[in-house]
Chain A
Amino acid sequence: MNFEQLLFYLFAAALLGSALMVITLRNPVHAALSLVLTFFSGAALWLLLEAEFLAITLVLVYVGAVMVLFLFVVMMLDINLAQLREGFVKLLPVGVVVALLVIGMMVYVVGPGNFGLEKFAEPVGHSADYSNTKELGRVLYTVYVYPFEIAAVILLVAIIAAISLALRKRPQGKRQDPDLQIAVRKKDRLRIVANNPKGQPGSNAGDKK
């Protein structure tokens, strides 16, 4: 076993272990952090495949942005864990049987019998000055320009959908109006009351308005 293979098995084990932890840990914050570890291991595996750009993007986008947001959401929501775990024991046997069947089938089909080295030759490695990012950019804007544009439209629809569902005027909602805030004058907020040291009756009447 050479060093590369050792790294592969190491990261693959970390990936599987942390992925298992995502679904078994009791604390949702810990589960989310395990997911971060899963992404890291995945990125390392991609690096071994010489897909540097994808590996870096995975770390930047998923670990850096998506998971942080996800953690925020998990911490803000009051998730009722007891309710989530309801029926877990009852459904466990069925789940285990189905999972084992699917895993067995996948190993049988996707295993070395069908995808081994004798079926698919090992891809040729690239020289050190080969830029993965540049090549991806080249095909993305030429050969795959049509799917690329569609992906952009999907993101646009996601934005429209999110805003149209989340933005609505609530009658008792408190919101800032920057226009009014800027247009405010001194006399709107501050009233100068004549100080009356002599203590004549009724002089404080104006304060109670």
Chain B
Amino acid sequence: MEFEIPKMSAALPEMFVLGMACLILVIDLFLTDKNRIITYLLAQATLVGAAIASLGYQFGSPEIAFNGSFIRDAMGDTLKVFIYLSVFVVFLYSRSYLQARNLFRGEFFVLGLFGVLGMMIMVSAHSLLTLYLGLELLSLSMYALVAMNRDSSYSSEAAMKYFVLGALASGMLLYGMSMLYGVTGSLELSQISAGVATAGAGNMVLVFGLVFTVVGLAFKLGAVPFHMWVPDVYHGSPTAVTVYIGSAPKIAAFAMVMRLLVDGLEGLQEHWQGMLVILAILSLALGNITAIAQTNIKRMLAYSTIAHVGYLLLGVLSGSDSGYASAMFYTIVYALMSLGGFGMIMLLSRTGFEADRLDDFKGLNERSPWFAFMMLILMFSMAGVPVFLGFWAKLSVLSAVVEAEMVWLAAVAVVFSIIGAFYYLRVVKLMYFDKPEDNTPIDSEFDVRVMLSANSLAILVLGLFPGALMSLCVNAFAL
């Protein structure tokens, strides 16, 4: 049997994160609660180090390593850097939140880093096997994180639902993958792509496998009708975990969709396009309409996630490089907005009080004009008001759909986007035109305030100059 030693250096960031996560796990054992902060600092240093390692590759030509299991290319590198960035911000927001709730434990950061490793593996996967294993690594870390607050029955319920439905989705995905393997005879995505070309798009087993694969992907993305877990999990988890789940894993899920449907099964585009159209329309409709009825802002943002997944799918289903780039742009922008939105909940929360009801945002302008303005930026951006970053994301996705000659679909998306604007603007109305329910001064750490301001201002500034981020996404598909 032929075997050559794989080019290990391609996976340097992965190895670095794995090594550091194991190291932090051991170091954390010897720390007392008083100097637990070292775990936090080491975790942040790991993310910075991984970012340096990944940036070192930028603009290199794609390379496939480990006998076809692994690929690093421009899309992967770009997405990985944004994953590190999101998780860095998540950890920063979470520190004081967790300390105030007696949840500041090493496991949060260790599991968070293992989750990052899972996302990196998904982003760089070039075979069905690594894709699946990366997904399981990420999911397993997330199940444990959701259940982290053992004293809350909401958390336990959310973790249980997430675990059972996640296992079901994995089963679907695996069954679909087994069909793809059965027809093409390979786990490697480029060979599957070649196998699809020989078998032809009409091959029934391939389409059968594709259906199961798309169902599995939709579960993980949280697209309607496979969305039932999203609101409960977002609501039940500690907000520090919600912000983790709501940001970086969406980037990884986008990468998984791209790897499977585009790298592997682009030959079946005529089939998956129709499936994604249905998923996208249902997600847009249900997400935007149900969000209106919510009184809990975590649940509202969960339904808004579902709607955003719909827009993301619009970009993918247009099936062109510009469409993929717009979907990637949308995913990154959504991750940034989601970080800010849940970060704001953590900022307003304090010991023994969770600011997760819409009423808690009443009269924020009187309590803190600055942070009311930051929330205004976030809400306007999520609603897609022009000039803010979210507007450009929606615009690029919609123009990709129009280019693919599905003007009716773009029209449907615009209608639901207008419906969705209602609940985002309602938050703005509550902040500026209602009387506050309690006047307790906002008590939060300096670093959280600075980061949240930077996060929101970034959305404003990038919205004024969206070209740089967009060209980054376009370049990812230029090769």
**Chain A interfacial positions (CB closer than 8 Å to B):** 105, 109-110, 114-115, 138-139, 142-147, 150-151, 153-154, 156-158, 160-161, 164-165, 168
Contacts and interface: CB of A to CB of B under 8 A. Distances in A.
A152 to B, nearest CB: 10
A145 B18 contact: no
Contacts of B67: 142-144, 146
A168 to B, nearest CB: 6
A190 B114 CA distance: 52
B136 A154 contact: yes
Nearest to A149: B18
Nearest to B25: A160
A161 B148 CA distance: 9
A158 B205 contact: no
B66 A145 contact: yes
B144 A165 contact: yes
Given A142-B3, A153-B137, A154-B137, A161 B70 contact: no
B204 A168 contact: no
Nearest to B159: A165
A147 B69 contact: yes
A157 B1 contact: no
Contacts, number: 79
A144 B129 contact: yes
B205 A161 contact: no
A115 B181 CA distance: 12
B208 A161 contact: no
Query: Which of A150, A154, A164, A165 has the most chain B CB atoms closer than 10 A to its own CB?
Result: A150
A23 to B, nearest CB: 15
A150 B133 contact: yes
Query: Which of B11, B70, B105, B136 has the most chain A CB atoms closer than 10 A to its own CB?
Result: B136
A154 B67 CA distance: 21
Contacts of A139: 1
Interface string B90-119: 000000000000000101001100100100
A104 to B, nearest CB: 12
Contacts of A160: 25, 107, 110-111, 114, 144
12 contacts: A109-B204, A110-B205, A114-B204, A142-B3, A142-B67, A143-B3, A145-B6, A147-B129, A157-B144, A160-B114, A161-B140, A168-B150
Contact of A153 (B69, B114, B150): B114
B105 A105 contact: no
B204 A153 contact: no
Contact of A157 (B105, B114, B205): B114
Interface of B: 1, 3, 6, 11, 18, 22, 25, 66-67, 69-70, 105, 107, 110-111, 114, 117, 121, 127, 129-130, 133-134, 136-137, 140-141, 143-144, 147-148, 150, 179, 182, 204-205, 208
Contacts of B6: 145-146
A138 B67 CA distance: 14
Contacts of B129: 144, 147
B121 A150 contact: yes
A144 B69 contact: yes
Nearest to A166: B150
B133 A147 contact: yes
A147 B127 CA distance: 9
Contact of A109 (B18, B107, B110, B208): B208
Query: Which of A145, A154, A168 has the most chain B CB atoms closer than 10 A to its own CB?
Result: A154
B208 A105 contact: yes
A157 B105 CA distance: 16
A146 B137 contact: no
A137 to B, nearest CB: 12
Contacts of B140: 154, 157-158, 161
A91 to B, nearest CB: 16
A158 B163 CA distance: 13
Contacts of B133: 147, 150-151, 154
Contacts of A110: 179, 205
Contacts of B148: 164-165
